[in-house]
Amino acid sequence: MTCRDERKTMSDSSSDLVAKKGTTSYIWNFFGVKDNDKEKDKAVCKQCHKTVLASGGNTSNLSSHLYYHHLKEYASVVEAKNSKKKKEASGSSKTKQELTLPAAIEQTQPYPSGSKRAQEITNALSHFIAKEMMPGFKKLLSRLDERYEVPSRKYFTKAAIPALYADTRGRISESIKNAEYFSITTDMWSSNTMQPYLAVTIHFVNKEWELQSHCLQTTFVPENHTADCLVMALQGVLESWGLPENRLACATSDNGSNIVAAMRKLNWTWLPCFGHH
């Protein structure tokens, strides 16, 4: 194929892309989505036509792609961001000077619990708790935004975190359901209080030929860690996620006698962890 033909092919591919609705970031000038992408969470670079995951409109992956592959375009994004910040700072100063007395009083009041701003901060806080497990930051939040009132611990444990789990599990389930084959890695570990857990992570290549890995479960295993106990735990994980054993290409673990015996009982193809040799 000649350079001219290649440019024509890339141009034709770009014409198949549509703008992602509801986006305001300048970075989307360099990306589009395919019209047949129902979720509209796979951005396609207009420069090289590589597919980049952008779930929920998140632009972190898009920014990284431009930084590593298209530095000129990345520089223009940075310039646009800086320009926007300057305009916002200028507008903010003007707004502060023009505030009426009722508006000034309103800015000293806590956000209503159902307001958009309160919900945004609460959602971000839920992700932080779930990922970092660091609940001691009320003082930090008061410095960030003194109008934000942190919901109760019960709200996070009974509502916010379960909702976050359900959303994450739904996205992972959707991701793995079309995996033709998959492999797993598994290991036993103990918490700081010496409670035993079994972790299972799935690995597969999606239709875009991208390697995907997701930690499916970290299961509490209080019983003696016999081979039979581990067999039940591992089978339970696959059943919970609707993963048939005949699509399991390989399982990797350490060389513990109990897990090795469990793999034999399951009759799974087993590959020992190189790090334990």
Q: State the Cα angle at 34 between 36 and 1, rounded to 5°.
A: 120
| 6 confidence band (pLDDT: 50, 70, 90) | very low
What is the CATH architecture assignment of 178-276? 2-Layer Sandwich (3.30)
| DSSP letters spanning 162-177 | HHHHHHHHHHHHHHHT
Average predicted confidence (pLDDT) for the chain: 81
247 pLDDT above the threshold of 90: yes
- Strand-pairing partners, residue 34, are 17
- Residue 275 burial (CB < 10 Å; 0-12/13-18/19+)? exposed
- Which is more confidently placed, 148 or 19? 19
Instruction: Give the HSE-up count for residue 61: Cα atoms under 13 Å, Cβ half-sphere.
Output: 15
The mean per-residue pLDDT over the stretch 26-42 comes to 82
For 118-128, what is each residue's pLDDT tens digit? 887 777 777 77
Distance of CA 81 to the CA centre of its chain: 24
Q: Could you tell me which residue, 103 or 216, shows the higher pLDDT?
A: 216
In sequence order, the β-bridge partners of residue 198 are 188, 219
pTM value is: 0.50
Closest C-alpha to 57, from 17, 18, 21: 21
